[in-house]
Chains A and B, each alone.
Chain A
Amino acid sequence: MVEYRIEYSKTGRARWLSHLELVRTFTRALRRSGLPLVFSRGFNPHPRLSYCPSLGVGVAGLREYLDVDLAAAMPLSEGRASLGRQLPPGLEIGCLMELPPEAPGIGKTVNCAWYRLALPPEQTVDTWQQAIDRLVCGSDPLYYKRPKDGKLFDVRSGLAVCRLTEVGGKMSSVLDLLVDFGEATAPLRGIVETLLPLAETAGSYEPARVTRMALLHQNGGLVNPLGERKQLWET
């Protein structure tokens, strides 16, 4: 048995697939691809796949990952082509990597994500910068209450670092955020919904303005799931 890690992007219309739909789409595409899948045992066998933490519906992902077990090794280019042919527009295979035996699964390989948010155009860069400063290093407590269960999150708890970049012309600015994963970490939606009023912007959280740029492991430095060292904000 050989384990592979697939890097893919989820953009365009495919960003509107929920995680469950994504799982179904990949499962069926893999079944159609003819790759020698390994199935779980039991009454209801399913292929052995593991995914990284789910993207919110509408959020694009440029470097997402999926681990799959295959019964036999295969040339990477062939596997990439067979699976690529079966995927709908918006889901695209970046690369394929054979994992060494005993390698930790994708779930244990990432502990933070880099999100990029296209800010609504109605405010100046200076206003945004002030709001961001207050969001990151203000002294007043900022909490987000999750609507579905009323759970309270400290908005700053998972927010490792962020960067504001001015985009020229009529385009608005973009905000890069490095957010830790964790039970106690405020969801991205909470961070954004806290930020917008700080900048006196009436808009609400729009998932289509968000792109997950990378999934990373942070432990001193940054390493991506393919084992490559990365600088902060390096693609």
Chain B
Amino acid sequence: MLSVIRQAKESAGAPGARLRARWSRRRLLEKLAGIPGVYIPSFYSVEYNKNGGVQSFTALRPELQSCVRRRLAPDLNDAFFPTAPVVPLAEAVHERGMLEVFRGCTRGCRFCQAGMIYRPVRERDPRTLLRQAREIIDKTGYEDISLVSLSSLDYSDLDGLLPALGDQCTLSRTGISLPSLRVDSFSVGVAQKLPGGRRTSLTLAPEAGTQRLRDVINKGVTEADLLEAVAAAVAAGWSAIKLYFMVGLPTETQADLEGIGDLVRKAQRAGRSARGGKKLRFSISASSFVPKAHTPFQWEGQLPRQQLTESHAFLRDLVKSSGADYHWHDIKTSFLEASLARGDRRLAEVLFEAWRRGCRFDGWTEHFNFDLWQDSFRAAGLDPEFYAGRRLSYDEVLPWDLIDVGIDREFLVREHRRALAGVATADCRLGSCEGCGVCPSFGVEPRLVKASR
């Protein structure tokens, strides 16, 4: 098995041609192992300790580094981006062209893996983006283009990009969409001006119900931001709003769950007064917190299923009593996610057992069979609770320590401690370096088209 760690296009060019050469499998793996960013699992062994955790990794060949460092493209303007993807004839899930405005979100939400492992922020020039958008429109025929970065409206030169992009889309009546919106009135205002907007439902993600907990997770959103965003959405013609929350976040108390209910009621009031007394439709979606590798919350455990079930039931009653819809992610799925998200190599056996027992399309509720997964863990002699629920200590070796994404461990520890103390950390887009370590370790810098606003 072979894994190329991140930004495959950066490292794939060289071996691509040689892969076709008639080397033995062994020889091929040896050659590939010499390419930075390529991880050959069979060239490393993992030793486990008596507590069930990882004791150490050993590189089995003298020429190998002790861990595999990811590759990154310092300048996305020269990096490959597909502008003529396959366009399916049958209806697919993401039926739109994708424009990657930048890579690397530096907002620093402490639960978010993508926000850590894709650092630093690297924006594409408006010129590059306009050219790519042109190609996508011409070559796919898609009716919409979506700006798919993690928080696309953080792009530093929106004023330079959006009007020109809008002009470019006029002739072909291509719509521009945003997968998610930052929670503030500015974003809603921008979204309103984009062409092709269907004013049906707007999605905002405050993630937590109280300011305290939002500071813990470093989601830089206030109640005022949300209420202004709701008012702006009404003014812009939206008639329904979806709010996303997470349940079971570290340090969460009953007060935080009640806070979600309060926040929903306040948002409903703000919506109603902005609509002149007419009710605004709210639907609340809640997922269960899943601790992820390479994030400040990687040491946290997931709450027991029983407790998550009670929290969701409590929230459902609370939210429904104020007349909003409540949807939540299946707790068993979230539990399985958590047990895989912080897993080690031994889980390969579980995956194989699950496959052998017929687990397929597990993301679809009608196909998901939790019992088969439990059987698979049992067959492999492993306990899913151990992976999902266990609180890890700072000094233990983590199964993913073999992969170096460039973020200092000390930074993650510091962020975790600040989280527990409820202290927020600023976005390095705004000029201050918070010392995550990725820039010095790769010899790169954040790449913003325009100096911070």
Q: With A30-B141, A44-B198 in contact, do A24 and B173 touch (Cβ < 8 Å)?
A: no
CB distance B141 to A27 under 8 Å?
Answer: yes
For B196, give the chain A residue with the smallest CB separation: A44
A121–B89 alpha-carbon span in the complex (Å): 34
Judging by beta carbons under 8 Å apart, are B197 and A43 in contact? Answer: yes
The answer on a CB contact under 8 Å between A31 and B199 is no
| Cα–Cα, bound, A199→B137 (Å) | 54
Asked whether A24 lies within 8 Å of B91 as measured between CB atoms, the reply is yes
Tell me, yes or no, whether B131 is within 8 Å of chain A by CB: no
CA distance A24 to B140 in the complex (A): 12
Q: Does A45 contact B (CB under 8 A)?
A: yes
Q: Is A99 part of the contact surface with B, judged by Cβ < 8 Å?
A: no
B138: which of A29, A32, A39, A46 is its contact (CB, 8 Å)? A32
Contact A28 B140 (CB under 8 A): yes
Which residue from chain B places its CB closest to the CB of A29 in the assembled complex?
B141
A183 to chain B, nearest CB (A): 28
The tally of residues in A whose CB lies under 8 Å from a CB in B reads 19
| Contact between B173 and A28, CB atoms less than 8 A apart | no
Could you tell me if B141 and A86 are in contact, using CB atoms closer than 8 angstroms? yes
B321 contacts partner chain A, Cβ-Cβ < 8 Å: no
A31 to B142 CA separation, bound complex (whole angstroms): 8
In the complex the two chains form, is B141's CB within 8 Å of A31's CB?
A: yes
Chain A residues with CB under 8 Å of B173's CB are 39, 45-46
Q: Does B172 contact A (CB under 8 A)?
A: yes
- Shortest distance from the beta carbon of B195 to any chain A beta carbon, whole Å: 9
Contacting residues, chain A, for B197 (C-beta < 8 A): 43
Report how far A91 CA is from B310 CA in the complex, Å.
Answer: 55
B163-180 contacts to A, CB under 8 A, are 172-173, 175
Complex Cα distance, B311 from A111, in Å, reads 61
> In the complex, which residues 128-144 of chain B have their Cβ closer than 8 Å to any Cβ of chain A?
137-143
A43 with B199: CB separation less than 8 A = yes
Q: Which residues of B contact A95 (CB under 8 A)?
A: none
Docked complex Cα distance between A32 and B199 (Å): 27
**A28 and B142 within 8 A (CB):** yes
Q: Determine if A25 is an interface residue (Cβ-Cβ < 8 Å).
A: yes
CB distance from B377 to the nearest CB of A (A): 41
Contacts of A25 in B (CB 8 A): 89
The reply to whether A24 and B89 form a contact with Cβ atoms under 8 Å apart is yes
A17 within 8 A of partner (CB): yes
Decide if B379 is an interface residue (CB 8 Å cutoff): no
Chain B residues near A197 (CB-CB < 8 A): none
Interface check B426, CB cutoff 8 A: no
Interface string of B60-100 (1 = CB under 8 A from A): 00000000000000000000000000010111000000000
Query: In the complex, what distance in Å separates the CA atom of A30 from the CA atom of B138?
Result: 10
Shortest Cβ distance from A91 into B: residue: B89
The residues of B that contact A31 with a CB separation of less than 8 Å are 137, 141-143, 172
Contact A32 B198 (CB under 8 A): no
* A134 CB to nearest chain B CB (Å): 40
CA distance A32 to B137 in the complex (A): 8
Q: A31-B141, A32-B138, A86-B141 are in contact. Are A43 and B89 (CB under 8 A)?
A: no
Closest Cβ of chain B: how far from A20's Cβ, in Å? 7
- Distance in angstroms between the alpha carbons of A27 and B143 in the assembled complex: 9
CA distance in complex: A88, B88 (Å): 10
Most buried by A among B89, B91, B141, B172: B89
Chain B residues with Cβ below 8 Å from A86 are 141
Give bound CA distance, A44 to B140, whole Å: 19
Contacts of B175 in A (CB 8 A): 44
Query: A21, B199: Cβ atoms under 8 Å?
Result: no
A21 touches B139 (CB 8 A): no
Chain A residues whose CB sits within 8 angstroms of the CB of B198 once the complex forms: 43-44
Question: B107-141 vs A: 1/0 string, CB under 8 Å?
Answer: 00000000000000000000000000000011111
Interface centre among A17, A24, A34, A39 (most CB of B within 10 A): A24
Which residues on B sit within 8 Å (CB–CB) of A43? 196-199
Q: How far is the CA of A196 from the CA of B447 in the complex (A)?
A: 71
Q: Cβ of B138: which chain A residues have Cβ within 8 Å of it? A: 32, 34
With the chains together, A29 CA to B89 CA distance in Å? 10
CA distance A86 to B140 in the complex (A): 10
Which residues of chain B have C-beta atoms less than 8 A from A30's C-beta? 141
Which of these, A21, A32, A44, A46, contacts B141 with CB under 8 Å?
A: A32
Known interface pairs A24-B89, A31-B143; 16 further A-B residue pairs with C-beta atoms within 8 A, sorted by A's residue number: A20-B91, A21-B89, A21-B90, A24-B91, A28-B141, A31-B137, A31-B141, A31-B142, A31-B172, A34-B138, A43-B196, A43-B198, A44-B198, A45-B173, A46-B173, A88-B89
14 inter-chain pairs at a CB distance below 8 angstroms, sorted by A residue, are A17-B89, A21-B89, A21-B91, A24-B91, A28-B142, A31-B141, A31-B142, A31-B143, A31-B172, A44-B196, A44-B198, A45-B173, A45-B196, A88-B89
Which 8 residue pairs across A and B have the least CB separation, nearest first?
A: A28-B141, A31-B141, A32-B141, A45-B173, A39-B173, A25-B89, A21-B89, A21-B90
